[in-house]
Structure 1
Amino acid sequence: METKVIENQSFDGERALYGSNHILVRNCSFDGPADGESAFKEGGDIEAAHCFFNLRYPFWHDHGLVIRDSEMTQACRAALWYSDRVEIIDTKLHGIKALRECRDVTLRNCDIVSPEFGWSVREIRMEDTRAVSEYFMMRSENLTFRGVKLTGKYSFQYIKNATFENCVFDTKDAFWHGENIIVKDSVIKGEYLAWYSNDLTLIRCRIIGTQPLCYCKNLKLIDCEMTDTDLAFEKSEVEAVITTKVESIKNPLSGRICVPELGELILDDENAKGEVMIGESKGGTASYAACSDKIA
């Protein structure tokens, strides 16, 4: 079917392009005194390029959607819900709740300022994108992130099946209750990292902040740095190789932690059976190097 081109127009009415299919909307503005909602609701095979969105709920129940070089303002609330096969490129998403219950989504080189972004999304890929958000990506599954910089709070809670590479996250309470997560070559700064997570693996990461990685199951760290990290690993099942000093480790439940230097080891729980190997061999204790080789 031939694509219909709509360009250089302004729309402010309710459901302005409702049910549209096979359209290219270019250099258009969705703004004005009528303050209409749901501009593209229940459409398909839609491309929006160089557009300005200043009205609510523009893309709901859409199937096959490309948005590029566009801007969604703070007034553009809940911009994408219940949609699939979505690609967003070089676009500002600045409205609250910008992505929810969508599937098969790709974002590249976007700027996100959106509280409650990305809830209950399935199959999302994000590359070279900046985000500021509270409760970022909550309850989403099958995430692949590369080159993402995030500032926020309570991020990635309850997510499942995720891979993160070369990312920088400045966010507290990240990965709480997350399952099956791999983080590589990334920086994670914030308090209370990954409590109650299951099957989290951190590889060559830098971890910054108090009380990380507590109450975890199947936790693994490979050649990670830890900065200003105290009271780490409390009641966690953990196998870890740390390459820097840790301020304090408290009551690891099971497994083995290899660390070259430790400020304080707190063992005041009789159920804490995790081993902590510090520095070189002393008095028959396995060396840090041997411990590291075994875990890696």
Structure 2
Amino acid sequence: MQLIKDMEFGGERPLFGSRDLHLDHVTVRAGESAIKECSNIIATNCRFEGNYPFWHVHGFVIDRCFFDVGGRSALWYSDHLKMTDTRIDAPKMFREMTDIEIENVEINDADEVFWRCNRLDIKNLKLHDGRYPFMFSRNIRIDGLESDSKYVFQYVKDVEIHHARITTKDAFWEVENVTVYDSELNGEYLGWHSRNLRLVNCHITGEQPLCYARDLVLENCTFGPECDRAFEYSSVRATINGPISGVKNPSSGCIVAESYGDIILDENIKAPADCELKLWDEQTCFSDCV
């Protein structure tokens, strides 16, 4: 493997088509597509300032690097990436990619990151600002996520998330086969139109959560006081370890809670309209609702 150390590149495609390179303390200045159509690339302690540096790259490592604001749309149409201990200040990263490993990464403009990606293994990721992270992606496993980006995890499939703190709006819309463990989910309109969404040991805040959901499961979750009109037109099986401020027209299933605030079951409820609302007592257990 060729080592390139302590150098600067700029302009159009300076390393186009390269193979078997180790870039160490390299700076990519203004320009486009610096490392396009390459394979077996290692970048350590590098700085990327130009647009689109890693397009159509197959097999690469990015470690302890920095993507400046100018390095937007830096990682597209590529596969087999391992990224560690890296900071990204540019938007629209990770598009149409497969086989991504990420650990200890901070993205400070998470606008449209991780779009249409497949097979992501993520540990300790921080997302700030931006909209629509993870849109249309699938086969995702995350352990450790902090996010204040808007509209996260829309149209995703086959996702498992552990130890997340997500503050957003309209999260987990139109998702399929998603499980979230031991997490805090803050924001309005959580999980609308989802299919097979499962929340385990989660704390949920925000207005009108979990409506229009199919085959929704909650295990040992808690709700904030602003969670009103929950479960409208949803098929749900839920055990809530505490009170619920309001429930509105769940279509089927069973809900167990410590207490209920407003319960709206009116003429607009959808068939089969047979959801049971129960209170915890000494005989009630999760299996009573699942």
- Contact kept, 8 Å, 1:242 with 1:260, in 2: the verdict is yes
SS in structure 1 of the partner of residue 173 of structure 2: coil
Q: Does 1:119 align with 2:115?
A: yes
Q: Hey, what does 2:18 align to over in structure 1?
A: 20
Once residues 236 and 280 of structure 2 are traced to their aligned partners in structure 1, the CA distance between those partners, rounded to angstroms, is 18
- Contact kept, 8 Å, 1:137 with 1:157, in 2: the verdict is yes
Tell me the TM-score normalized by structure 1: 0.93
Residue of structure 2 aligned with 1:234, choices 232, 235, 239: 232
- Contact kept, 8 Å, 2:250 with 2:269, in 1: the verdict is no
Displacement of 1:293: 3.5
SS in structure 2 of the partner of residue 201 of structure 1: strand
Once residues 187 and 291 of structure 1 are traced to their aligned partners in structure 2, the CA distance between those partners, rounded to angstroms, is 23
Tell me the TM-score normalized by structure 2: 0.95
- Aligned in 2, Cα 1:291/1:251: closer, same or farther, shift over 3 Å? farther
Once residues 170 and 3 of structure 2 are traced to their aligned partners in structure 1, the CA distance between those partners, rounded to angstroms, is 46
Once residues 215 and 237 of structure 2 are traced to their aligned partners in structure 1, the CA distance between those partners, rounded to angstroms, is 8
Displacement of 1:250: 0.4
Q: Does 1:52 align with 2:47?
A: yes
Q: Does 1:88 align with 2:83?
A: yes
SS in structure 2 of the partner of residue 148 of structure 1: strand
Q: Does 1:138 align with 2:139?
A: no
SS in structure 2 of the partner of residue 91 of structure 1: strand
SS in structure 1 of the partner of residue 288 of structure 2: helix
Displacement of 1:273: 2.4
Displacement of 1:124: 0.6
Q: Deviations over 1:152-190 (max 9, x none)?
A: 111100000000001111111111000000100111101
Identity of paired residues, percent? 37
Residue of structure 1 aligned with 2:155, choices 155, 158, 164: 158
Residue of structure 2 aligned with 1:198, choices 195, 198, 209: 195
Q: Hey, what does 2:276 align to over in structure 1?
A: 275
Q: Hey, what does 1:264 align to over in structure 2?
A: 262
Once residues 213 and 34 of structure 2 are traced to their aligned partners in structure 1, the CA distance between those partners, rounded to angstroms, is 45
SS in structure 1 of the partner of residue 52 of structure 2: coil
Q: Hey, what does 1:283 align to over in structure 2?
A: none
Letter matched to residue 11 of structure 2: G
Letter matched to residue 123 of structure 1: R
Once residues 197 and 61 of structure 2 are traced to their aligned partners in structure 1, the CA distance between those partners, rounded to angstroms, is 33
Letter matched to residue 85 of structure 1: H
Q: Does 1:172 align with 2:169?
A: yes
Q: Hey, what does 1:72 align to over in structure 2?
A: 67
Q: Deviations over 1:122-157 (max 9, x none)?
A: 001111111123101000000000011111111100
Displacement of 1:279: 4.2
Q: Which runs of no fewer than 5 residues in structure 2 stay unpaired?
A: none
Displacement of 1:291: 5.3
- Contact kept, 8 Å, 1:277 with 1:291, in 2: the verdict is no
Once residues 93 and 99 of structure 2 are traced to their aligned partners in structure 1, the CA distance between those partners, rounded to angstroms, is 15
Displacement of 1:270: 4.2
Q: Hey, what does 1:255 align to over in structure 2?
A: 253
Once residues 273 and 54 of structure 1 are traced to their aligned partners in structure 2, the CA distance between those partners, rounded to angstroms, is 58
SS in structure 1 of the partner of residue 12 of structure 2: coil
Displacement of 1:74: 1.2
Displacement of 1:278: 2.5
CA RMSD of aligned residues (A): 1.2
- Contact kept, 8 Å, 2:233 with 2:269, in 1: the verdict is no
Q: Does 1:8 align with 2:9?
A: no
Q: Deviations over 1:84-122 (max 9, x none)?
A: 000110001221111100000011001112211110000
Once residues 134 and 21 of structure 1 are traced to their aligned partners in structure 2, the CA distance between those partners, rounded to angstroms, is 35
SS in structure 1 of the partner of residue 284 of structure 2: helix
